[in-house]
């Protein structure tokens, strides 16, 4: 039998909003498997959480740069938030993003690229030596279209083009680039706010879709619903799921597009742009998502420092 720790129960409770005892039971029933425990709670009707949000546990900055039909987003991590306020670090992030715009999103190519007389890798090492804190280029992504624009949005920006979250969105169109840029920024802001998993249902992970089907079916099977009824409920539930996690099917967050899906808002914008528009992709980076940072017990640290247990 798996050992269920208090920390595991706490994490599940924070993820689902379900009571402590139910979380403990869910983990015990599923041998400590967090995702299985979330699904178990949903089947019981105790949680509406679709998935655990990425835990933002690293510091640093996200940099986003665009130039016409190209755009990149990079994440550069540091140990503390103080470094993110350091002008040298901020300049480093902007420089790395600019290099990525030129050479692409491959991390090794970015590190090997030269800026003046030094490589990016050397520039990072020099910044570590000067600032006195470890830094890493964690990831990078790029988008490009043949005709159209790639737009960006940086949330909680500390300087232009760098902040705690960065989004790029690619729009393919032969229409007016200035109108496309306005629409692209709106879509990038929407992505920042809603965190879609894919552009449309075809882009979703098949395993995630199957898990959603299983959760819905098992939930209503436990309520004694007939299989033919369950099939219809699951089909309807999937449509709702797609509206929650697929960009083009989500309801637009912008007031001017109230009551419209993103796809409808894009279609409506074609009049201003003067040509058909296709959203070809998006990338959303939130600082530190997916990285767990060990949480310290401040009271225990003080007690230890004073010689108490």
Domain extent listing, the chain: 1-52, 59-198+262-286
Within 10 A of 229 (CB to CB), how many other CB atoms are there?
11
State pLDDT tens for residues 235-268: 888 899 999 999 999 999 998 888 899 999 999 9
The mean pLDDT value for 112-129 works out to: 89
The mean pLDDT value for 61-68 works out to: 95
254: Cα separation from own chain's centroid: 20
Q: Residue 49 — pLDDT band, cuts 50, 70, 90?
A: very low
Distances (CA, A) of 250 to 51, 166, 186, 192, 205: 17, 20, 14, 13, 17
Q: Is the pLDDT of residue 135 over 90?
A: no
We find that the CATH architecture of domain 59-198+262-286 is: 2-Layer Sandwich (3.30)
97: Cα separation from own chain's centroid: 18
Strand order in the sheet with 165-172: 148-155, 165-172, 278-286
pTM here? 0.74
Say how far apart CA 33 and CA 16 lie, in whole Å.
Answer: 14
CB-side neighbour CA atoms (13 Å) of 83: 22
Say how far apart CA 277 and CA 145 lie, in whole Å.
Answer: 12
21 vs 170, higher pLDDT: 170
Q: Is the pLDDT of residue 126 over 50?
A: yes
Q: What is the CA angle 259-260-263, rounded to 5? A: 165
Specify the DSSP class assigned to residue 256.
Answer: G
The DSSP bridge partners found for residue 246 are: 198
Say how far apart CA 153 and CA 224 lie, in whole Å.
Answer: 48
23 vs 56, higher pLDDT: 23
State pLDDT tens for residues 142-193: 999 999 999 999 998 999 999 999 999 999 999 999 999 999 999 999 999 9
Q: What is 1-52's CATH topology?
A: Helicase, Ruva Protein; domain 3 (1.10.8)
User: Residue 280: in which H helix or E strand, if any?
Assistant: strand 278-286
| Helix, strand or coil, per DSSP, at residue 77 | strand
Lowest mean pLDDT segment, chosen from 35-39, 112-116, 187-191: 35-39
- Record the tokens describing residue 30, joined without a space: 């599923």
Q: Residue 99 — pLDDT band, cuts 50, 70, 90?
A: very high
- Record the tokens describing residue 144, joined without a space: 């490009």
Which residue, among 90, 56, 52, 104, has the nearest Cα to 285 in the 3D structure? 56
Say how far apart CA 108 and CA 113 lie, in whole Å.
Answer: 9
List of long-range contacts for 1-5, beta carbons under 8 Å, 24+ apart: 1/28, 1/31, 2/27, 2/28, 2/31, 2/32, 3/32, 4/28, 4/32
Q: Residue 300 — pLDDT band, cuts 50, 70, 90?
A: low
Give residue 227's pLDDT: 82
Within 10 A of 156 (CB to CB), how many other CB atoms are there?
13
73: Cα separation from own chain's centroid: 12
Give residue 218's pLDDT: 85
Q: Residue 38 — pLDDT band, cuts 50, 70, 90?
A: confident
Whether the Cβ atoms of residue 193 and residue 169 lie closer than 8 Å to each other: no
């Amino acid at each position: 039998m798996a050992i269920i720790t208090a920390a595991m129960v706490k994490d599940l409770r924070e993820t689902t909003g379900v009571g402590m005892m139910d979380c403990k039971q869910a983990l015990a029933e599923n041998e400590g498997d967090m995702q299985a425990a979330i699904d178990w709670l949903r089947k019981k009707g105790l949680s509406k959480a679709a998935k655990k949000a990425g835990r933002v546990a690293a510091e640093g900055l996200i940099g986003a740069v665009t130039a016409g039909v190209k755009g990149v987003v990079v994440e550069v991590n540091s140990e503390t938030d103080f470094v993110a306020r350091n002008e040298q670090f901020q300049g480093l992030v902007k420089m790395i993003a600019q290099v990525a715009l030129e050479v692409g999103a491959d991390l090794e190519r970015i590190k090997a690229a030269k800026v003046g007389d030094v490589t990016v890798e050397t520039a990072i090492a020099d910044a570590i030596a000067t600032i006195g804190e470890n830094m890493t280029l964690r990831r990078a992504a790029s988008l490009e279209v043949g005709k159209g624009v790639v737009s960006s949005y940086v949330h909680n920006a500390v300087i232009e083009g760098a902040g705690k979250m960065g989004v790029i969105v690619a729009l393919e169109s032969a229409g007016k680039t200035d109108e496309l840029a306005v629409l692209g920024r709106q879509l990038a802001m929407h992505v920042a706010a809603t965190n879609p998993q894919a552009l449309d249902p075809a882009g979703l992970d098949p395993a995630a879709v199957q898990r959603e089907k299983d959760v819905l079916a098992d939930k209503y099977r436990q309520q004694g619903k007939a299989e033919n009824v369950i099939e219809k409920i699951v089909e309807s539930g999937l449509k709702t799921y797609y509206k929650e996690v697929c960009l083009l099917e989500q309801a637009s967050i912008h007031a001017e597009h109230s009551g419209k899906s993103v796809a409808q808002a894009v279609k409506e914008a074609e009049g201003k742009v003067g040509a058909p528009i296709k959203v070809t992709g998006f990338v959303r980076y939130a600082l530190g998502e997916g990285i767990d940072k060990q949480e310290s017990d401040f009271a225990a640290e003080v007690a230890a420092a004073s010689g108490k247990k």
